[in-house]
Amino acid sequence: MVLLPKALASDAVTARFSGASRADAGEGFTLLRAAATPATASALRQTLTNLKPVPLGLATSGGFGDRLGMATPGHAAAMERSGAKGKIAPIFAQQSIREMTRTKRTAQQVVDDATFGAFEAGWSLELGADADHLKTDQNVLDCVGAGFTFFTFDPSEHVDDEAESADEPTLRSKVAALPWARLDDDWTSLKQRFLARPLDAGGAELEFDEHVLAKAAAKYGAALAHAAALHRVLAATGAPYEIELSVDETSYPTTLEEHAYLALELKRLGVPVVSLAPRFVGRFEKGVDFRGDLLALKATLTGHAAIARAFGPYKLSLHSGSDKFSVYGPIAEATAGLVHLKTAGTSYLEALRVAAAFDPALFRRALAIGHERFEIDKKSYLIGAKLEAVPLPADVADADLPALLDDDDARQVLHVTFGSALDALGTELKALLVAREAEHEDGLARHFVKHLAPFVPHAALPVGGRS
């Protein structure tokens, strides 16, 4: 149902809602009843224009991946409860190509489900839509057509991790083999730009020499060429856009020098980034807190943030950001709010928490699928879960099932087998969430308040304040 002020409910406006019935709701309002179809979602975005995704610029932002298409009301409630509304820009429609493939959802379904969820929540401010981990031209075009406005380029398949430990002859060979024509560059010119004079990185200490530069170029040069090609495809559509570059799913941390190389070369190639996701030190695994040396991470965050300000400005993006509670405060402070938080699987786990509490048999089936599929489904993820540490469904009492959602190993096993579980149980899980709508929304809100609250005091710009 759509409730519109009569002044807005003209014949031209109501005609957008194909097949809708119309009734006088009294007190100056008109009530429209329309099916939840793609056409209705489009009509909502045309009529309530804040529901149409837009580029969000440098505002502190948070992405809420929603694999079921039912979590946006809970995400919006968390924005309200945490004080983030109006300070942190939300991206309610966020999904990677990998997630869309495993959930068998289209890009348009992702955007439309978020539209309906934001409408249901009464969301009144602007919002974005993130097409995550795009790797091909067709990925880009599909997501432009669906109305996404934030495009995360993932050139990780073009990152050469072997450069990390290559000897000098091998490194020289890798540099010589770079796609220099696509980069509109050559090794001599690159050295001139980076080695002829010190780079002012806003306080970050950069130690470039020929070896360091060669390693950065060998590691990331082909990835830059791929990102530039994706940008040309995106720009040619004429659609509004902003770009994030993601190199977080690689084997080795991104050094400060490599980050500077990426930033300056993106600028030279004319690829405007609103955010960049380096591979930080330590382990950012799915669905659990940061694992590693927190002091070392804090030290490098300061340098990465300085580079982002000096060579952008753009935001640092925290991928696999779900449940990294020990990191939120330090990264919000280090970046002074020039940060984007990206979450996804934790919302699915909150849906399973509802199942654990209210349909133990359904949850046990999801857990059984986790045991069956984990070794296969984990292959595209960087995680450390031990399957043998996760109890079998028959070995856990009903009352103890919800506690598995607080166990790191169980969380990760359930997290990465979501596609297999939804193939088998998706219809039943969605029906349960409809029946337990209030509990689902409240659980999401409480969980995400913990994600958002540390960023609120450091919010960089008012929502809508672009730079």
CATH code at 199?
3.20.20.70
Please give the Cα distance from 221 to 47 (Å, whole number).
45
Residues 425 and 307 in one domain: no
The total number of structural domains that make up the chain: 3
Residues designated catalytic: 132, 244
Based on the fold, state whether residues 366 and 341 are members of the same structural domain: no
| 88 inside domain | yes
| Beta strands across the sheet bearing 29-33 | 2-5, 29-33, 21-26
pLDDT band at 373 (very low <50, low <70, confident <90, very high): very high
- Domain-located, residue 192: yes
Joined tokens for residue 54: 């837009």
**Residue 385 DSSP code:** -
**pLDDT per position as a tens digit, 299-311:** 999 999 999 999 9
Question: Do 359 and 348 have their domain in common?
Answer: no
270 with 154, same domain? Answer: yes
Q: Is the pLDDT of residue 321 over 70?
A: yes
- Res 238 pLDDT > 70: yes
Contact 282, 296 (CB under 8 A): yes
Q: Is residue 44 part of a domain?
A: no
At residue 5, the pLDDT reads: 73
CA separation for the pair 329, 428 (Å, rounded): 38
Higher pLDDT, 2 or 431: 431
Query: What DSSP line would sit under 151-216, residue for residue?
Result: EEE--GGG--GGGGG--HHHHHHHHHTS-HHHHT--HHHHHHHHHSS----TT------HHHHHHH
Residue 264: give the domain boundaries.
50-353+459-467
Average pLDDT over residues 345-373: 99
Same-domain check for residues 237 and 331: yes
Q: What are phi and psi of 456, to 5 degrees?
A: -60, -45
Instruction: Name the amino acid, one letter, at 348.
Output: Y
Distance (Å, rounded) from C-alpha 459 to C-alpha 336? 7
Same-domain check for residues 379 and 441: yes
Residues 93 and 6 in one domain: no
What is the average per-residue pLDDT within 416-443?
98
In this model, does residue 285 exceed pLDDT 70? yes
**Predicted pLDDT at 466:** 44
> pTM above the 0.85 mark?
yes
Closest Cα to residue 151, out of 89, 66, 230, 250? Answer: 230
Our separate counts of H helices and E strands in the chain read 18, 11
- Nearest residue to 452 via CA among 340, 306, 288, 291: 340
Residue 82 lies in a domain: yes
Residues 320 and 384 occupy one common structural domain? no
CA dist., res. 152 & res. 150, Å (int): 7
**357 pLDDT exceeds 80?**
yes
In a shared domain, residues 23 and 161: no
C-alpha distances (whole Å) from 66 to each of 95, 110, 153, 461 are 7, 8, 19, 26
Same domain as 247, residue 144: yes
| Same domain as 363, residue 341 | no
Q: Answer whether residue 43 is part of any domain.
A: no
Q: Is residue 214 part of a domain?
A: yes
Whether 454 maps to a domain, the answer reads no
Whether residue 45 lies inside any domain: the answer is no
Sign of CA dihedral 47, 49, 54, 60: negative
3-class secondary structure, 245: strand
- pLDDT tens digits along 120-169: 999 999 999 999 999 999 999 999 999 999 999 999 999 999 999 999 99
pLDDT at 462: 60
**How many angstroms separate the first and last alpha carbons of the chain?**
37
pLDDT at 382: 83
The mean pLDDT of 173-197, rounded to a whole number, is 98
Instruction: Compute the mean pLDDT over every residue in the chain, rounded to the nearest whole number.
Output: 95
Question: Given this model, what pLDDT does residue 81 score?
Answer: 98
Alpha carbons 104 and 109: distance in angstroms, whole number: 10
pLDDT at 3 over 90: no
342 and 358 part of one domain: no
